[in-house]
Amino acid sequence: MSNIGKKEIGLAIVGCGAIGRIRAIMARDYPGIGWLGLCDIDTGLGEALQKDAKADFFTDDYNKLLSRTEVDAVIIATDENHHFGPTMAAVEAKASLFIEKPLATDIKESAKILSAIEEAGLNAVMGYTQRFRRRFLTVKQRLQEGRIGEVTSVVTRAFMNSMVPIATVRRTNERQNLTPMVVSGTHSLDMSLWLLEGKKPAEIYAKSVDKLLSQYGTKDATFGLFTMDDGTIFSMNISWALPQVWPGSVYGLEIGIVGTEGVIDIEDTHRDLVLASTKSQGGGYVPHGFEPPQRHVDFLTSYPPGDIYDDQLWGPMREETNSWYQSLITGQSTPHATARDGHRNLVLTMAMDASSWTGNAIDLNDDLENHILEIQSSMKNKV
* pLDDT at res. 74: 98
Confidence grade of residue 1 (pLDDT, cut at 50, 70, 90): very low
Q: Residue 204 in contact with residue 351, Cβ under 8 Å?
A: yes
> Given the DSSP bridges, would you call strands 337-338 and 274-276 parallel, antiparallel or unpaired?
unpaired
* pLDDT at res. 179: 83
Query: How high does pLDDT run on average in the chain?
Result: 92
Could you tell me which residues come within 8 angstroms of residue 180 by beta carbon, excluding any fewer than 6 positions away? Answer: 160, 165, 208, 218, 219, 220, 221, 222, 238, 239, 240
Domain count, the chain: 2
- State the Cα–Cα distance between residues 70 and 86, nearest whole angstrom: 17
Confidence grade of residue 251 (pLDDT, cut at 50, 70, 90): confident
- For residues 59 and 144, membership in a common domain is answered with no
* pLDDT at res. 345: 96
- What are the tens digits of pLDDT across the range 360-379? 999 998 799 999 999 988 87
* pLDDT at res. 6: 64
Confidence grade of residue 100 (pLDDT, cut at 50, 70, 90): very high
- For residues 125 and 137, membership in a common domain is answered with no
Q: What is the mean pLDDT of residues 271-293?
A: 80
- Minimum mean pLDDT among 162-171, 183-192, 302-311, 339-348: which range? 162-171
| Domain contains 194 | yes
- State the Cα–Cα distance between residues 243 and 124, nearest whole angstrom: 36
- For residues 270 and 147, membership in a common domain is answered with yes
pTM above 0.85, yes or no: yes
- For residues 267 and 121, membership in a common domain is answered with no
Question: What is the per-residue DSSP string for 73-90?
Answer: EEEE-S-GGG-HHHHHHH
Residue 181 has pLDDT above 90, yes or no: no
Q: What is the mean pLDDT of residues 15-40?
A: 96
- For residues 38 and 74, membership in a common domain is answered with yes
Cis status, amide bond into 201, omega within 30 of 0: no
- For residues 77 and 190, membership in a common domain is answered with no
- For residues 300 and 326, membership in a common domain is answered with no
Q: Which domain holds residue 180?
A: 131-304
3-state secondary structure of 187: helix
* pLDDT at res. 178: 73
Q: What is the mean pLDDT of residues 300-320?
A: 93
* pLDDT at res. 289: 66
Could you tell me the CA-to-CA distances from 234 to 129, 205, 242 in Å, in that order? 22, 11, 23
Q: What is the mean pLDDT of residues 333-338?
A: 96
Q: Residue 189 in contact with residue 155, Cβ under 8 Å?
A: no
- State the Cα–Cα distance between residues 160 and 326, nearest whole angstrom: 32
- State the Cα–Cα distance between residues 38 and 55, nearest whole angstrom: 7
- For residues 114 and 208, membership in a common domain is answered with no
